[in-house]
Amino acid sequence: MDLANRVKTLTPSTTLAITAKAKELKEQGHDVIGLGAGEPDFNTPSYIIDAAKKAMDNGLTKYTPSGGIPELKNAIIEKFETEQNLNYSSDEVIVTTGAKHALYTLFQVILNEGDEVIVPAPYWVSYPEQIKLAGGKPVIVEAQEQNEFKLTPQQLEGAITDRTKAVIINSPSNPTGMMYSEDELRDLGEICLKHDIIIVSDEIYEKLIYTHDVHKSIAQLSPKLKEQTIIINGVSKSHAMTGWRIGYALGRKEIIKPMTNFASHSTSNPTSIAQYAALAAYQADEDPTIEMKKVFSERLDLLYNLIKDIPGIECIKPKGAFYLFPNAKKAAEMNGFNNVDEWVQALLEEEKVAIIPGSGFGSPDYIRLSYATSNELLEEAAKRMKRFVLNHK
Ligand code: PLP
């Protein structure tokens, strides 16, 4: 069958091949340790689950407005007012089916055929594919490890053409865990203002920071930058709610309104029950991120110290999210592999440790390790990785 051209250019998720292989090995009875997870291993807090049950009992199981229920929009608006001193009105917010669909809808709305979006690598796997699905062209700019994998103003200037429509800033970043400072954001922002480039600010990991760094949105830096920026966020990572699929976008209504129209013909609305659950998450006095942060921070220290002790693996310490992004090129070479992808495959086959190769994030010399799993498993995984590097012939 002749399928649509747009799917022919889609790159299958690189995580899929590894996950499928890990599953196969598990089914054969092997003791596989997975460090591939892109989600917190905590349960959704019970008060959030209770709110969803209550919504069901109260019959709140019908269609909702496409852009989200007013109560949740108001709770989001309030969060941004109190936490970030940013003021948005109701028509400047859209609740979506996860942050992923906020991004998808945004690209559908702002991109014409051939429009370019600057994507700093290492990048989250879905950005380039979503841009392509909207007819756009991802312009990948390799951010350097010595710059903590962050886009520099020179790199941004150098990548701009007369087709550039937007740039993505993801801070804290998946996969690197790095964060932009206020000064760095200001410098990038100035360039975006000068060239009228939309800033897509993906802040989904804002609550998971383990240093004294404070999360700042580029939209906070000036009224003009707020106007230029679309903020993407959601409850998936902050409240361990990945499966509920609630995210949102905030920005000028000229963009949010067509996003809402687009959603009305694609998803209709995010699941009603999940919206009430997210409302409870934002209205609660409890902050589940405090406990999650404590645990993640300890695990980060544990895994970081174990990993940097492995010959041939070099790693800078992340500040946020729940991933390490070490360079494994030397280890792959020492073990006689042509590239890190092959090394990752062999590590899974021989030592039964599943990690994600950096190629999927646009940085093929690297690997991504998620520490959203127990200390025991992290210790065992690091032990096996070290054994593999030292013993593989
Ligand atoms: N943005 C980044 C950087 C992510 O890592 C993820 C999820 O892994 C998302 C967006 C999507 O989040 P959601 O699960 O809310 O769709």
CATH class of 58-283: alpha beta
CA of residue 100 to ligand 1 center, whole Å:
6
Work out the percent of the chain whose per-residue pLDDT is above 90: 90
Domain boundaries, the chain: 5-43+288-391, 58-283
Q: With a 6 A CB cut-off, is 170 part of the ligand 1 pocket?
A: yes
Find out whether the beta carbon of 38 lies less than 6 Å from any atom of ligand 1.
yes
pLDDT tens digit sequence for 171-205? 999 999 999 999 999 999 999 999 999 999 999 99
Residue-wise pLDDT for 294-340, tens only, equals 999 999 999 999 999 999 999 999 999 999 999 999 999 999 999 99
Could you count the other beta carbons within 10 Å of the beta carbon of residue 50? 12
Neighbours of 25 (CB within 10 A): 16
Rounded distance between C-alpha atoms, residue 176 and residue 182, angstroms: 18
> Rounded to the nearest whole angstrom, what is the distance from the C-alpha of residue 28 to the centroid of ligand 1?
31
Work out the mean pLDDT of the chain and round it to a whole number. 96
Q: How far is the CA of 239 from the centre of ligand 1 (A)?
A: 13
Query: Which of 124, 169, 245 to mutate to test ligand 1, by most ligand atoms within 8 A of the CB atom?
Result: 124
235 CB under 6 A from ligand 1?
no
| pLDDT exceeds 80 at position 13 | no
Strand partners, 201: 169, 231
324 contact partners, CB below 8 Å, separation of at least 6: 177, 300, 303, 304, 307, 315, 318, 368, 369, 371
244: CB partners within 8 A, 6+ apart: 44, 52, 235, 236, 271, 274, 277, 278
CB-based contact 143:122 (threshold 8 Å) = yes
For a substitution probing ligand 1, which of 15, 149, 174, 246 has the most ligand atoms within 8 Å of its CB? Answer: 174
The pair of structure tokens assigned to 231 is 């903020």
How large is the ipTM? Answer: 0.99
> Alpha helices, DSSP H only, in the chain?
5-8, 14-27, 46-57, 70-84, 98-110, 126-133, 153-159, 182-195, 223-228, 253-266, 272-283, 288-307, 329-334, 340-351, 375-391
Predicted model pTM: 0.97
Going from the Cα of 338 to the center of ligand 1, the distance in angstroms, rounded, reads: 31
How do strand 116-121 and strand 323-324 relate by DSSP bridges?
Answer: unpaired
Task: Answer yes or no: is the C-beta of 98 below 6 A from any ligand 1 atom.
Answer: yes
Q: Residue 38 — pLDDT band, cuts 50, 70, 90? A: confident
| CATH number of the 5-43+288-391 domain | 3.90.1150.10
Backbone angles phi, psi at 333, to 5 degrees: -65, -45
* Residue of 97, 173, 204 with the most ligand 1 atoms within 8 Å of its CB, for mutation: 204
- Per residue in 114-126, pLDDT (tens digit) is 999 999 999 999 9
| Per-residue pLDDT, 393 | 72
Per-residue pLDDT of 374-384, as tens digits, reads 999 999 999 99
Using the CB atoms, write b or e for 86-120: b if 16+ within 10 Å: bebeeebbbbbbbbbbbbbbbbbbbbeeebbbbbb
Tell whether ligand 1 has an atom less than 6 A from the beta carbon of residue 247: yes
